[in-house]
Structure 1
Amino acid sequence: MTQPGSRTRPTALAVWLLIAGVIGWWAAFSLTMERLHLLMDPDAILGCDISPLVQCGKNLESWQGSVFGFPNPIMGLTGWVAPIVVGAAILAGARFARWFWLLFELGLAFAFVFVIWLIAQSVFVLGTLCPWCMVTWVVTIPTFYAVTLHLLRTGLVPAPRPVRSAADTLMAWLPLLAVISYAIIAVIAQIRLDVLGAVF
């Protein structure tokens, strides 16, 4: 039986998944290396520690940096492999069953919620902006939006026709949705941390 929306290969989505996956994996790898430096030398000055405001050392050493008992970047090292594999598989002609897409969406939803929580912790509790963490934010947010809208517009997630049409329209506006999300985060960070005052 043909799955809804399976007639058209989502090439643009696949390319984005590859790009986002590689960028996200590199950010996780870089953070993991910084964490290893701290383990070897607690007094080490990390390459991502640019200023008291822009740094990753405080984040890595906080309990928020190891929520599940191990450094958060390890989740990124494993988790970002999924978008890379899915993107490459789509470009190679693979078609996935609905259950696979739903599991993939569930993983991205967890990543999205976790990133939002980490943003709140960074801005409101730790008072820092971690460079590699921000790279992760930048790719996680639109990746979640893109896959969610794809599942809605293709009917892989059952939805009324108006919702599917809206999702199809919003997919074209995905870059703007991402920029708006970044702008909201930037405004909150500026209000809370006075980023511009710290930089200039």
Structure 2
Amino acid sequence: MMPKAHLGKIAALTLTGLLSLNACSASAPQTEESSLPVPSAEEFLPLLAQTQSDGDKLPEGFEDTDSYDAQTRHLLATSDFGKHYVAVGNEGQLCMVTIPKPEQKDGDFEIAGTTCPTMDYVVENGVPLKVDGGENSLEVVTYLLPAGISSVTVENSMTGLRAEHPDIKAEDIQVISENDAVLLVMEEATAKELGTITINRSEADPLVLASLT
């Protein structure tokens, strides 16, 4: 089953002045189970086993959800579209948290999305997550790619897709290789225009990313 995405929007608590997250979720379609060996989240992404640093903190006003172990949360990458964190789920899943970038240069982060797929899903499909955005933040689609797919492979596939969609600029799609992971990030409008996103692989069948739009 494709993972559920949990969205959280900051809400001010008048009496305490603190900020909290309200969660909601959406269902997703079925998918075939993986036939590949299933590693633990820490084996798949060694960053998860490292000691936390100050850089792994969530932005001010955000709190961890109860779906993952907060002690395992790490900043995986910062893109032009937001901040992307990973953590180990309470049942061993690989969780990803995306906090979209504010539309205004000096704006505040205001919303987060979290998803925690099982490792058998991650091995086969990676980790897809869409965050609809708040009143003043971007609507972001993030894909953490399965192991064995290089950033060059993803870049080549994106170049081919952009050729079919001349209105999409190179900066509209970002491929990040960091912390032993490859992330594909874009705004939801870009993902919608691209339609089906396929990553071509030389020694395996193409990877068709889960539709999030």
Higher relative contact order (CA 8 A, sep 6+): 1
Larger helix proportion of the pair: 1
Larger strand proportion of the pair: 2
What is the TM-score normalised by the length of structure 1? 0.27
Give the structure with higher Rg (CA).
1
